[in-house]
Structure 1
Amino acid sequence: MIKKLILPVLLLSISIGNAQGKKTKSYELASPGGQNKIKFELVNNAPKYGVSHGKTEVIAPSDMGFLLKNNENFSSNFEITNVKNSTFDETWEQVWGEKKNIRNHYNQLVVQLQQKDKNKRKLEIQFRAYDDGIAFRYVYPKQETKDSIFIMDEKTTFNLKEDGKAWWIPAYKENRYEYLYQNSSINAIDTVHTPLTIESKNGLKLSFHEANLIDYASTTLVNTTGTQLKTDLVPWADGVKVRVKDTFTSSWRTIQIAEKSGDLIDSYLILNLNEPNKMGNPSYVKPYKYFGIWWAMHIGKYTFWEGDKQGATTAHAKEYIDFTAKEGLHHLLIEGWNKGWTQQWYENHMHMFSFTQCADNFDIEKVVEYGKEKGVELIGYHETGSNLINYMKQIDAGFALYKKLGIHTVKIGHVGSKLNMKEWHHGQFGVNYFRYVLQKAAEYDLAVFYHEPIKDTGERRTYPNMLAREAARGQEYNAWSEGNPPSHVVILPFTRMLSGPMEYTPGVLDVEIKQGYPGKRIHGTTAQQLAMYVTFYSPIQMLADLPENYAVPGYQFLKDVPTDWETTKVLNGEIGQYISTARKDRNSEDWYMGSITNEKARDLDIPLTFLDSKSTYEAQIYADAEGTDETHNPSAVAISKKTVKASDVLKLHLGGAGGTAIRFKKL
């Protein structure tokens, strides 16, 4: 009934805009609940848009359009040839995810433009207004004359009405996305990757990103003047931003808008802007937890390459398989199993890895067979070293080997500053490469998780074999660098993770890394590592530590916590300070909660209203022990149990850089 009342009002407001359009060329689109509005207008024949939330102007009139080759201006001298509006409302189901059922409800305005010069180029701009944000994209339809299109610049700007605090990482740097977040005013930011998160002075929380990125260049944002941000498409090596033939469709430019920080995480706008599932529900696509011969190599116990300390040996593999089977898990990653690894494997060279030939002392067929006997499946690993010329020659053979062996997941790494030492990972070349590999993997019944990847723009909705990716500074930096400061892990959920699942590789319970490089450690507590399995979403979660370090009571939480969820609720949180997240298991009636904090110790009151009001639960609590923080007995975990109901309020104490993990078992 409510929908029937709202819909005519919405269409009336648009029709008034249409009537006014003949005179002012101005149109307004409101979201279904009216929270967010987009205004489109032609000003001196140039397209402009603005955005408001309630009575607050978020984006003042901002530029749109392109610069094409030969300095052809494709951003002015337009007239409107048609305007269409529509509404859409559906609920769709994720194959796997942080929430099973997602509502996709928006109002759309499509403006068709044509330039008034001799070429009469046409451009369509599609706007969508959601209650959790807005989106728009450009469609260059087939024209009367065919030609190759070279986009030299996209002129899209975001003219923020107010300044604010921005959390950002720089673009065009050697380590891709793997940087610590900086926090500054808008006018002090560099050219930055998205998602870019801003806390505006008016209190609104904003995230700028893109969705459904196909055959186009990634967006970065550059501060041009004051509080204005401009799109800076990642170029090809020759400076061209995008090259296509006849037509193109840009990714959606997105702004998620929230009044509370946690509402940014509870938004599914990015997923909703992608195409529906094209794969169905493949049997080989499954969420899971896994162990790996991985951390031992990062802390220096083993090496990636062949030699006396080689990690990937048949003997080590069998030991890890035995441990994996004993602990009731079913997947194991082994890095370094193939030929081509050297001590310089991570440096910028055109490394020549083989994707079918085993390293000395490793027999993949024997290891796979041993795993099958124990109920453990190997996860394939392809480190390309960003030498895609070499990888593309072997990709079919490499994937075919995995299919023959019954391997159904492959981790693909791209260490190197540029692909083929030439092209950015996030330019059009990289966008097309990563999409091609994902589709190629599906031909061989393989699910994929990428490291050193293109950023996530929601393609997991369309291709659910796209499990997760890195695209940020992960756990391994704690093994051999100055490490990730406590604030890093409470920035990631509000920034990088807004784009999609992250392979952070948590679960290092020996946070002081006693067997590692001298002076290196994790800047947080063991309880915080446990809580990350709830606050950091990924359908595949690594238990990254050495097997011997799991002989501790807190490990039980990692055995219990699932990786596939019915629903997710962010209970509280402030960017860079703390976050508490609750998730309901998709396959049981249990709930799980994680709370983590920065270097500041924190007391939190957690209302348990997310629990079923008619049920009673046993809260199995894994908390920082009394007096525990980053530097004081950080591995100490206090384990307790308590009977709770939805009407209760749970009081938590988090030590500095600490956390609490809870399983709510329905009684």
Structure 2
Amino acid sequence: MKIKLTLAVLLLGAITSHAKVIQSPNGQISIDFRLKNGIPTYKVNYKEIPVIKESKLGVELREGNNLMDGFEQVNISTSSFDETWQPVWGEVKEIRNHYNEMVAELKQPATNRYMNIRFRVYDDGVGFRYEFPQQKNLVYFTIKEEHTQFALTGDHTAWWIPGDYDTQEYDYTQSKLSEIRGLLRNAVTSNASQTVFSETGVQTSLQMKTAEGLYINLHEAALTDYSCMHLNLDDKNMIFESWLTPDAEGYKGRLQTPCHSPWRTIIVSDNACDILASHLILNLNEPCKLEDTSWIKPVKYVGVWWEMITGKGTWSYTNALPSVKLENCDYSKLPKNGTHSANNDNVKRYIDFAAEHGFDQVLVEGWNIGWEDWFGNQKNYVFDFVTPYPDFDIKALNEYAHSKGVRLMMHHETSGSSVNYERHLEAAYQLMNKYGYNSVKSGYVGNMLPYGEHHYGQWMNDHYLHCVKEAAKHKIMVNAHEAVRPTGLCRTYPNLIGNESARGTEYQAFGGSKPFHTTILPFTRLQGGPMDYTPGIFEMDIEKINPNNHSHVNATIANQLALYVTMYSPLQMAADIPENYERFMDAFQFIKDVAVDWDDSKYLEAEPGKFITVARKAKDTGNWFVGCVAGDAEHTSKITLDFLDADKKYIATVYADGKDADYKTNPQSYTIKKGIVTNKTKLNLRAVAAGGYAISIIEAKDTSELKGLKKL
């Protein structure tokens, strides 16, 4: 690692004691900061084109004497920083963290209070945050609202989901910003817990495109001890303003100096691929705080999950109880319902399948007592996270899995009772250590306990991070579902190996997602960190799994294969049931082959809502994998494999939509073609609407491997 810190003043623009301009290292992005009548303001330009017009900064306090105006500048300093760091896992082997920084130190003479605003300007965007130094006249304080503005230059096209304090599990809407108000009501679909706050409120990460062809992304980084930020639109003036998630009393944050806000981020480029390739949010997080990371390993897994999501099986063990009190419930005396999926024989079947096909782990949900009345009741003591159902022999099943070279993946559903989870957390992690579990999928379905708290409020954000830190002490990796959307904390705590926090594959069994959904998620949800999207569905007609479920998966098989490359995650599930893979073993081969950790990633082409094509180099190999997903319309790629080594030959296997493929009527039509490729190979490949293609490119070690193959 090389680190360079320039302490001398790096003043890259001009001019008065109340106005400073600082540029990115390549000079293409600039921030203009100034005090205007005592009010902090900023502007952002890209290649001298306005991106954010003059926008106000400030924080409104419950106690009065707001930190919004009446400021004078005490000092302003600038510096430069350049380092290269290696993530424990990731899209690339090394990440450069290179920025120019400006710190504006402000004083409010009327109250004798101090507030700093720190700006960092990268070649791909900017980040800024509020900092509150330790001081006599500002010690404990409560935020009523943060008033960070993003004044836009026009009525941009946006890909958005409704602003909500409790869920991101919405389909995306593409519209002009001015159309959000009229469309938002229909964009709100039902969820187990939701709190929509405004007719023009949307969530971050927000992706936009200007009429001039600039791509702009708004998000936040390093969300700790603070409330999640949403955006509320003044659609008359095209100004977004931050809108924090409140606590049970309606306040937006309770802080003690010294402290700071998360970073507010703006990623900008005239090339959509640059948005996808950006590492700005990771770079704005602190370096890894774990001394030993050798136990953190990317995971490819299967699981007893899809059969329950589709309704073929159940999480619960019995139908004999209207309600459950764990302390006096003897399940051994209760009749089985006959649909409980987490039983010994069924779990062994998944273990055998995982072992046969080289998967690392098997997720088992519904293994522990209490599922009979877990949903929607806001119970405090809903699960104990240590007691298995009578038909789940936790000791024997783990021993069986280990004998096959496979681990079981733990599942902890909290049902929103975070207090109960913290009460049992140490015992639950100790049980995992006892039986050899090293990863857990946690869930937060339903309204939160304590009552009145929201999924994305300060209290819950502290809870999620507490669980990750405690898990690290037990060498456990965490995959949190229904938690706050990621903001790059996986750099600091890389045992946070995955999150859901978006509309995942499960909704394909709940009525479907829009065909363009997976062409938007990498521009939005994945900006802050990887998603446990759970791809790999091969049977699109859910009625064939559960006759009472008439849902249809809006994708082709080739599309589902491509997701393992386009939806980056070090945690990838082959989500379908074994029987469906056994029907299409030639296509299933790609899921078996594809890597989950990478040395390099190349975004070959992209347009939000339309298509994404990505090439990734598998960790410590010469092998590459390519994935392309299409949106609502057919897409033809014209790509060159110039990312391959010039002096080598490779064996490529192309999995593509068949000529008659159609995601509605013929989603299981695909073709497989194999041949020789080099770095000069050019490919024209077609993806139907909601379709795609996937390519494995394996380095040929010997010419004998090429025998009988032709050039593609």
TM-score, structure 2 length as denominator? 0.89
In the alignment, structure 1 segments of 5+ residues that lack a partner are none
- Deviation (angstroms), 1:519: 2.3
2:482 to 419, 435, 452: 452
- Establish whether residue 242 from structure 1 lines up as the match of residue 258 from structure 2: no
8 Å CA contact 2:63–2:141 kept in 1: the answer is: no
Check if 1:278 corresponds to 2:289. yes
In structure 2, runs of 5+ residues without a counterpart are 181-199, 318-336, 701-712
Distance 1:526 1:145 in 2: 62
Does structure 1 conserve the Cα–Cα contact (< 8 Å) formed by 2:226 and 2:262?
Answer: yes
Report the equivalent of 1:185: 176
Q: Which amino acid aligns with 1:40?
A: F
- Counterpart residue number, 1:163: 155
Please point out which of 536, 542, 552 is paired with 2:573.
542
Give the counterpart letter for 1:13 in structure 2.
L
Separation in 2, partners of 1:173, 1:127: 27
What amino acid is the match of 2:16? G
Q: Report deviation, 1:328.
A: 1.8
Which secondary structure state, in structure 1, belongs to the residue aligned with residue 697 of structure 2? strand
| Counterparts of residues 493-508 of structure 1 (less than 5 Å) | 493-508=522-537
User: Aligned pair in 2 of structure 1 residues 173, 347: CA closer, same or farther (>3 Å)?
Assistant: farther
Which of 380, 385, 395 aligns to 1:365? It is: 395
Give the distance between the partners of 1:503 and 1:347, measured in 2 at CA: 27
> Map of 1:280-319 to 2, 5 A cutoff?
280-306=291-317, 307-319=337-349
Q: In structure 1, what is the Cα distance between the partners aligned to 2:136 and 2:209?
A: 45
Identity over aligned residues, as a percent? 40
1:665 to 690, 698, 703: 698
Distance verdict in 2 for CA 1:359–1:543, change over 3 Å = same
Corresponding letter in the other structure for 1:385: S
Aligned AA for 2:268? I
2:30 is paired with a residue whose SS is: strand
Which residue is equivalent to 1:96? Answer: 89
The AA in structure 2 aligned to 1:144 is: K
1:324 aligned partner: 354
Q: 1:263 maps to which residue?
A: 274
> Out of 186, 211, 216, which is 2:221 matched to?
211
**Secondary structure at 1:555's aligned position in 2?**
helix
Q: Is the 8 A contact 1:79 1:114 kept in 2?
A: yes
The answer on 1:44 being equivalent to 2:37 is yes
2:69 to 68, 76, 88: 76
1: CA distance, partners of 2:619 / 2:221: 26
- TM-score, length-scaled by structure 1: 0.95
Deviation at 1:420, TM superposition (A): 3.5
Decide whether the 8 Å contact of 1:213 with 1:457 is kept in 2: yes
2:107 maps to 1:129: no
Cα distance in 1 between the residues matched to 2:689 and 2:173 = 21
Q: How far, CA to CA, are the matches of 1:346 and 1:620 in structure 2?
A: 47
CA distance in 2, matches of 1:536, 1:121: 46
CA distance in 1, matches of 2:377, 2:567: 29
Indicate yes or no: 2:478 matched with 1:431.
no
Q: 1:518 to 1:172 in 2, by over 3 A?
A: closer
Q: Which amino acid aligns with 1:331?
A: Q
Residue-by-residue CA offset, 1:335-393 (whole Å, 9 max, x unaligned): 01001102653665546112111113111111111111111111111000001122111
SS at the partner of 1:570?
strand
Equivalent position to 1:563, from 583, 596, 616? 596
* Structure 2 residue 363 is matched with structure 1 residue 333: yes
| Pairs within 5 Å for 1:594-613 | 594-613=627-646
Q: 1:144 aligns with which of 128, 136, 152?
A: 136
Contact 2:419/2:449, CA 8 A, preserved across alignment: no
Q: Which residue of 2 aligns with 1:579?
A: 612
Shift of residue 449, structure 1, vs aligned partner: 0.5
Q: CA 1:408–1:9 in 2, change beyond 3 Å: closer, same or farther?
A: closer
1:32 aligns with 2:25: yes
Distance 1:483 1:246 in 2: 47
Residues 254 and 604 of structure 1: CA distance in aligned 2, closer, same or farther (over 3 Å): same
Q: CA–CA distance in 1 between the matches of 2:429 and 2:62?
A: 40
Q: Which residue of 1 is the match for residue 188 of structure 2?
A: none
Per-residue deviation, 1:549? 1.1
Letter of the structure 2 residue corresponding to residue 209 of structure 1: H
Matched, 1:153 2:145: yes
Q: CA deviation at 1:537?
A: 0.6
Q: CA deviation at 1:502?
A: 0.5
For the pair 1:528 / 2:523, whether they are aligned, the reply is: no
Equivalent residue, structure 1, for 2:46 = 53
Q: What SS does structure 1 have at the residue aligned with 2:665? A: coil
Structure 2 CA distance for partners of 1:8 and 1:95, relative to 1, 3 Å: closer
Alpha-carbon distance in 2 for matches of 1:547, 1:384:
28
Deviations 1:22-52 (A, max 9, x none): 3xx1000000001100000011111110100
Secondary structure of the residue aligned to 2:50 is strand
Shift, 1:511, TM fit: 2.1
**Given residue 526 of structure 1, which amino acid in structure 2 is its aligned partner?**
I
Q: Per-residue CA shift, 1:617-641, capped at 9, x if unaligned?
A: 1111111112112133211221111
Contact 2:7–2:79 (CA under 8 A) maintained in structure 1: no
AA of the residue aligned to 2:153: K
What is the CA–CA distance in structure 1 between the aligned matches of 2:288 and 2:310, rounded to whole Å? Answer: 40
SS of equivalent residue, structure 1 residue 203: coil
Secondary structure at 1:311 match in 2: coil
Q: Is residue 119–residue 128 contact of structure 2 (8 Å, CA) maintained in 1?
A: yes
* Selected match of 1:389 from 408, 419, 426: 419
SS, match of residue 419 in structure 2: helix
Shift of 1:134: 0.6
Residue 333 (structure 2) aligns with: none
What is the letter of the counterpart of residue 515 of structure 2?
P
Q: Secondary structure at the match of 2:421?
A: helix
Structure 2: which amino acid aligns with 1:528? N
Separation (CA, whole Å) in 1 of partners of 2:225 and 2:503 = 26
Q: For 1:11-22, list aligned pairs within 5 A.
A: 11=10, 13-14=12-13, 17=14, 20-22=15-17
Greater CA drift, 435-444 or 631-640: 631-640
- The separation in 2 between residues aligned to 1:305 and 1:13, in whole angstroms, is 63
Task: Give me the whole-angstrom Cα distance separating, in 1, the residues matched to 2:600 and 2:413.
Answer: 34
Q: Confirm or deny that 1:342 pairs with 2:341.
A: no
* 3-state DSSP of counterpart to 2:303: strand
Cα distance change, pair 471–442 in 1 and its aligned pair in 2 (3 A): same
Q: Distance in 2 between matches of 1:13 and 1:411?
A: 47
Partner SS, residue 74 of structure 1: coil
Give the Å deviation of 1:494. 1.3
Partner of 1:625 in structure 2?
658
Equivalent residue number for residue 540 of structure 2 = 511
2:107 pairs with one of 114, 122, 128? 114
Report the number of matched residues.
Answer: 654
Question: Is contact 1:349–1:421 with CA below 8 Å preserved after alignment?
Answer: no
Distance 1:473 1:242 in 2: 27
Q: Deviations over 1:298-330 (max 9, x none)?
A: 112210110210011112111211111111222
d(CA) in 1 for partners of 2:651, 2:253:
56
State the Cα distance separating 1:173 from its structure 2 match: 6.0
Deviation for aligned residue 1:606: 1.0
* CA 1:200–1:350: 2 relative to 1, 3 Å: farther
